[in-house]
């Protein structure tokens, strides 16, 4: 599992997918999220603006990433 560090309290789901190189653009992030292809903590979430906090786990295409704070 890949860990992504953030300096803020949270990061939005679409931004995290781009930062983790899981998608190549914001448009691609929007599409895969709306299509129900992304899971947050084991649950499908279709909100691109979903706030992801440290210790949350995001999964897309069998790859997992977690967020860590400073």
pLDDT band at 70 (very low <50, low <70, confident <90, very high): confident
Query: Torsions phi, psi of 45, nearest 5?
Result: -130, 130
Indicate the pTM of the whole model: 0.92
Q: What is the pLDDT of residue 59?
A: 97
Q: What is the pLDDT of residue 69?
A: 85
Q: What is the domain count for the chain? A: 1
Q: What are the pLDDT digits (tens) for 4-61? A: 999 999 999 999 999 999 999 999 999 999 999 999 999 999 999 999 999 999 999 9
Rounded-to-5 percentages of helix, strand, coil across the chain: 25, 35, 45
The CATH number linked to 49 is 3.10.290.10
**Residues 2, 60: contact at Cβ < 8 Å?**
no
Domain range for 39 is 2-68
Q: Please determine, for residue 1, whether its predicted confidence score (pLDDT) is greater than 80.
A: yes
């Amino acid at each position: 599992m890949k860990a992504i560090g953030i300096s803020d309290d949270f990061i939005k789901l679409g931004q995290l997918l781009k930062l983790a190189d899981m998608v190549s653009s914001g448009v691609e992030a929007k599409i895969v999220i709306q299509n129900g292809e992304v899971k947050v903590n084991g649950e499908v979430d279709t909100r691109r603006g979903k706030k992801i906090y440290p210790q949350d786990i995001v999964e897309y295409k069998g790859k997992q990433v977690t967020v860590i704070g400073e």
